[in-house]
């Protein structure tokens, strides 16, 4: 059974590759061909790249869809509080 993208995001949250904490800042821009932290596929120039900023953490880049899954999983776990 293939691993879904949501499973990947959950695994990376468990492993600490993706943080639970909210970023200090969130940047968004066009992709530069660098791999997505969640799915490891390149974020192409025609796609939007989300870059959550943290102090003292390796850069994180996410596709729009991967970012949505990360947000949803953090919300499910109680780390993301709606204001």
**Alpha carbon distance 70, 32 (integer Å):** 21
Structure tokens that stand for 51 in this block: 């870059």
**Alpha carbon distance 28, 63 (integer Å):** 10
Whole-number minimum distance, CB 31 to Zn ion, in Å? 10
Q: Which residue is nearest to Zn ion (CB)?
A: 36
Whole-number minimum distance, CB 43 to Zn ion, in Å? 7
Whole-number minimum distance, CB 36 to Zn ion, in Å? 3
Query: For binding to Zn ion (CB under 5 A), which residues are involved?
Result: 36, 38-39, 63, 66
In this complex, which beta carbon is closest to Zn ion, that of residue 57 or of residue 65? 65
Sign of the torsion formed by the C-alpha atoms of 83, 60, 44 and 25? positive
């Amino acid at each position: 059974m293939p691993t879904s993208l949501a499973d990947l995001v959950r695994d990376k949250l468990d492993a600490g590759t993706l943080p639970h904490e909210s970023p200090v800042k969130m940047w968004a821009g066009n992709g530069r061909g660098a791999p997505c932290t969640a799915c490891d596929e390149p974020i192409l120039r025609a796609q939007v790249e989300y870059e959550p900023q943290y102090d003292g953490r390796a850069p994180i880049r996410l596709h729009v869809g991967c970012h949505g899954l990360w947000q949803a999983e953090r919300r499910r776990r109680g780390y993301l509080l709606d204001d």
